[in-house]
Structure 1
Amino acid sequence: MNYTEWPFVEARRIKDRLERLGKTNVVAQTGYGPSGLPHIGTFGEVARTSFVLKALEIIAPEIDRHLIAFSDDMDGLREAPKNIPNREMVIEHLGKPLTSVPDPFGEEKSFAHNMNRKLQEFLDSFGFEYDFASSTAKYAEGAFNDGLKRVMNNNQKIIELFTKTISEDKRAAWSPFFPVCENCGKIYSTRVTNHDTENYKVSYVCDSSLEGKYTACGHTGEVSIFDGALKLGWKVDWALRWFSLGVDYEMHGEDLMESGRLSKKLVRVIGGKPPELFKYELFLDDEGKKISKKIGNGVSIDQWLSYGPVDSLLYFMYIKPQQTKKMGLPLLPKIIDQYLELVAKYDGETVDSPVTFITRLSKGAHAVSMGMGDKVVNYSMIYNLVLALNETDPAIVREYLLKYQPKIAENMEYFDQLIAEVLKYYKEVYLASKVDEEPVRDYDEAISAFCEELEKLKNSGEKPEADVIQNMSFRAAKERGINMKEWFKTLYLVFLKQSSGPKIGSFVVLLGLEKSIERLKTHMEKVSTK
């Protein structure tokens, strides 16, 4: 089958690579920097790589698949996070490998051990299949020794390649090796002074302080390049991992394009094959600014999962990974709606669909196609119902939804979760920034006419149809020469206290004729008393 969804395209690239190399298994890698908690970027990289491996499973089930979640925990800590306890204690250990920095939480052997545990708990909570790998452990156990030997054997070539990419004033002192100072334990304060290529050792001096962060101790020494006495600098280290772990596939952000190009050259120098790389775009907040952990803009993974289901987050990671996408709390309802409407149209069988991948990765209750027809219950519908009812009792919200679309009872666990998430969003996002806007009185006559039409429909005993009610609202305005945009804005303000919303016909059916008539009459009574 010629599947066209992007994970299948990537899976075919991997399959072609394995055929060229005569391999029967694939190793994919994702990277994590344990200087802070796992974040939405960590989730996205693992999720997208998992999509690709699921596609490979479909088109080539005979290929063994392995995903390595690699922690760069031998990197030095340059700055203490502001949101940790015992921060002053951590500051005293700046410049040391993360696995040598004491755990400020007092729970693990080191700061990195704590963050690594949280990473694994984080990935496990979503049901991802992966093997965890620690940089510190790989260096110490000798897993990188062969690669390190090759780096030393090709030291001059690597220096020539790398120094072309840095400023002239840094070229003379640059080395691919970063020894850990045997005296103070820091890694970023050391400078290599000699490469002993025969004995595979380097000499160093600890003399590179970083003002306001850490101070070099002045120690001089000589260490073996093997078994964890040092690590390689970034880019060379990336190439080392590809070579030593046999990595076939890895994703990276747009910000690592140049690093990826150089690391591909470096891995060839040491006799390895560069993996297939896939560049994904970074996220923007709802105002179009690049998301930054320091600024704290955008949406954190905790926020998303407080206000929306995990399968909607998987969907967001799935769609158009190579296009810049906005994410922010005001955009969440729309993103979740897109996913729920996609699932509602899904036939339950088509393999070449985002739904295939998202449902395969979703752990616990998730959206399923239930043949809702044109009465799809989505996030915005529940949110608008809560706004109109001014109601935070989930049982009452559920009762309205079941009356509107009885089929949701087939997946009530999921919709109960969705109701709870909408109510949390309503309380913490909407009410926190609520600014009521009163509807104009210019269209009272049309509102009264629309109300009368609804009362006639109610008294007739006929089943309310969204299209019929939509036409009623349209006719009430048209007969009076009212601008449609202004008319519907007024109705939204009457029903929802906001200037936009769903189709009025569908919304009245959801809210019910009795409650809708009551809302219109309440508005008219307010007007008449002014």
Structure 2
Amino acid sequence: MTDIAQISPAPVDDAVFAAAQVSKSWPFEEARKLVKRFPGGKRDAAGDLVPVLFETGYGPSGLPHIGTFQEVLRTTLVRRAYQAMTGGHPTRLVAFSDDMDGLRKVPDNVPNKDVLTANLGKPLSRIPDPFGTHDSFAAHNNASLREFLDRFGFDYEFVSSSDRYNSGAFDAALINVLRHYDAIQAIMLPTLREERRQTYSPVLPVSPSTGVVLQVAIEVVDAEAGIVRFADSDGSLVEQTVLGGQAKLQWKVDWAMRWVALGVDYEMCGKDLTDSHLQSGRIAHVLGGRRPEGLIYELFLDEKGEKISKSKGNGLTIEQWLDYGSEESLGFYLFREPKSAKSLHPGIIPRAVDEYWQFREKLATQPVEQQLGNPVWHLLRANGYHGGDGDKLPVTYGLLLNLVGVLGAGASREQVWSYLGNYVINADPAAHPALDTLVTCALAYNRDFVAPTLQRRAPLANEAAALTALDAALAGMTADAGAEAFQTVVYEVGKEPDFGFESLRDWFKALYETLLGSSAGPRMGSFIALYGLANTRALIAEALAGA
């Protein structure tokens, strides 16, 4: 994390600069909106270049999650693309915490819930921390956000809503809202149900008696002085300033005010905020500003295609992803097709891991024009994002999972590395840290998802005959014959017409189901080389015994 106001990016290579002008990769398409917004760069009244401001928002009523990560990552990718397109124009990224929001309900995943229950409705920054580690509930979750973002090396500036309101930094913006109170109401009231219209106000005063953020109608008494009149919780009529943290704004108005007050140029949001984005843009115009550029991205779905809900618990946390896959694979998965709904469940992790490394291996041989369309090019430039050791993984994650699946739920890291010695040069975890990370992930993934479902079936008569022939062929080979030689033998056996396979696919499926207990599997030559010739023949013997 950095506290400086302006990030100075590395100089942009001429070839990258030229390719960026025509790249169709989505971060460049998004960055192109900013280039069009600021021809010649964003400049102040004196004509000097000033940073383009990117923003991401965070609601600290809960802990950071995978949605928080994807928004900061994707925004960072657009930021880096803009820098490439402009030859390194300055930028800033603000992570904004809306911690003046009133607590609406008590989260399920916190201790001492009675502490929060007793303070419902109060600003998150004025509620005791149920974890007992910080000055407030918001401070605890804000610290978690900063730790979370720092963990992944993001360059950002943290801005707290409560700090801005309480310090008076938003006072001028609040007065501006009061000046345009009627115009804002004209935008918002037609979008509300009749009963909501009766009490709706763009400004939410904080009760002087209870400290609760009130959802009540107000009367503007003196816009320039920031004075309003409203009915307090006990029904008494109160005249009070909205300045200095004694009020906050309704969500859509607050979003628009923040854009104008901070000078936000780019902010993306989920599809569920489409209407908010539209109305906030109209309000920003009324306040004398301009809606920032941005991407409206699709939401995550579970494995049944249903929208992910925190209350249902049908999602996938970032901690779970990192239990079963790498940081790079998560970034890779979130990079692709942000305007398409994405499934988010454990089953997509292995493929994401292997596809990341496939794209990474391609990168070095691609011309720069193709590199800019490669997700890994973008990820490697997002705050020093990197994969660990080299541009090629010596063993695919899918193959690693097959090995661990055969070894069983009780397999250890040391045991897996002993088998990797059959296949990997210098099979030392210290020499292959990225692979070592995936060994740990594979053991966890196998334990939780693979081992409980594996079930080897007995081979049919023709399959048993083919397995017998394969075993005889392998008996004439040496352990160091290599994956390609083993693969050739497997092919030759499967092509034999006497065994009755309609296609090689049927032969491979039989191998997977009888030897590995799964309907899909690895390239068998690679598996034999990894698992070992003698061990593979033992697997075949077990399958034939079951026949």
Q: CA deviation at 1:61?
A: 4.0
Seen in structure 2, the aligned counterparts of structure 1 residues 429 and 154 have a Cα distance that, compared at 3 Å, is same
What residue ranges of structure 1 are gaps of 5+ in the alignment? Answer: 207-215
Question: Which SS does the other structure have where 1:202 is aligned?
Answer: strand
Once the two structures are TM-superposed, the CA of residue 176 in structure 1 deviates from its matched residue by: 0.6
Deviations 1:165-198 (A, max 9, x none): 1123332432211000000010035442454335
Task: Write the distance in 1 (CA, Å) between the matches of 2:147 and 2:247.
Answer: 29
Greater displacement, 141-150 / 306-315 = 141-150
AA partner of residue 139 (structure 1): Y
2:315 match: secondary structure: coil
Structure 1, 349-358 or 230-239: larger mean CA deviation: 349-358
Q: Is the deviation greater in 438-447 or in 114-123?
A: 438-447
Aligned to 2:3: none
CA contact (8 A) 1:346 1:369 kept: no
* Equivalent pair of 1:464/1:509 in contact (CA under 8 Å): no
Measured after TM superposition, the shift of residue 397 of structure 1 is 2.0
**One of 519, 530, 537 as aligned partner of 1:499:** 519
1:387 equivalent in alignment to 2:405: yes
Structure 1 residue 463 displacement after superposition: 7.5
Partner residue, 1:404: 423
Residue 286 (1) aligns with residue 307 (2): no
Say if 2:249 is the partner of 1:229. no
Amino acid at match of 2:448: E
Q: Paired residue for 1:520? A: 540
Q: Is 1:126 equivalent to 2:152 in the alignment?
A: yes
Percent identity (aligned): 35
Q: Which residue of 1 aligns with 2:120?
A: 94
1: CA distance, partners of 2:56 / 2:179? 28
Q: Structure 2 stretches of 5 or more lacking a match?
A: 1-17
Q: Distance in 1 between matches of 2:468 and 2:234?
A: 83
1:240 maps to 257
**Residue in 2 that maps onto 1:358:** 379
Q: Aligned to 1:500, what secondary structure does the other structure show? A: coil
Confirm whether residue 297 of structure 1 aligns to residue 314 of structure 2: yes
- Correspondence for 1:490: 510
Please state how far the C-alpha of 1:238 moved relative to its aligned partner. Answer: 0.4
Deviations 1:238-288 (A, max 9, x none): 000000000000010000111111111110101112110211111111221
Match of 2:58 in 1: 32
User: What's the CA shift for 1:437?
Assistant: 4.2
CA–CA distance in structure 1, aligned partners of residues 221 and 438 of structure 2: 61
- What CA distance in whole angstroms lies between the structure 2 residues aligned with 1:277 and 1:480? 59
**How far off is 1:360 after superposition?**
2.7
Distance (Å, rounded) in 2 between the aligned partners of 1:165 and 1:47: 32
CA distance in 2, matches of 1:165, 1:265: 13
For residue 446 of structure 1, report the CA deviation from its aligned partner. Answer: 1.7
Deviations 1:65-119 (A, max 9, x none): 1111000101111111122111012101111111111110111111011100111
> What is the total number of aligned residue pairs between the two structures?
513
SS in 2 for 1:404: coil
Q: Which moved more, 1:170-179 or 1:73-82?
A: 170-179
- Give me the TM-score of the superposition, normalised by structure 2: 0.88
Within a 5 Å distance, the mapping from 1:442-521 to structure 2 comes to 442=461, 443-458=463-478, 465-476=485-496, 478-484=497-503, 485-521=505-541
Query: What is the letter of the counterpart of residue 111 of structure 2?
Result: P
Identify the range of structure 1 (478-487 vs 86-95) with the bigger mean alpha-carbon deviation.
478-487
Using the size of structure 1 for normalisation, the TM-score is 0.91
Residues 1:389 and 1:464: Cα distance change in structure 2 (over 3 Å):
farther
Match of 1:429 among 442, 449, 458: 449
Change (3 A) 1:174 1:364: closer
Cα drift, residue 510 of structure 1: 2.8
Q: Which stretch shows the higher mean deviation, 486-495 or 358-367?
A: 358-367
Q: Which residue of 1 aligns with 2:349?
A: 332
Secondary structure of the structure 2 residue equivalent to 1:231: strand
Aligned to 2:204: 178
Name the aligned partner's letter for residue 536 of structure 2: S
Q: Which moved more, 1:382-391 or 1:105-114?
A: 382-391
Q: Which residue of 194, 198, 201 maps to 1:168?
A: 194
Query: 2-side partners of 1:55 and 1:199: how far apart?
Result: 44
Q: Identify which of 151, 168, 173 aligns with 2:177.
A: 151
Rounded Cα–Cα distance in structure 2 between residues aligned with 1:252 and 1:461 = 54
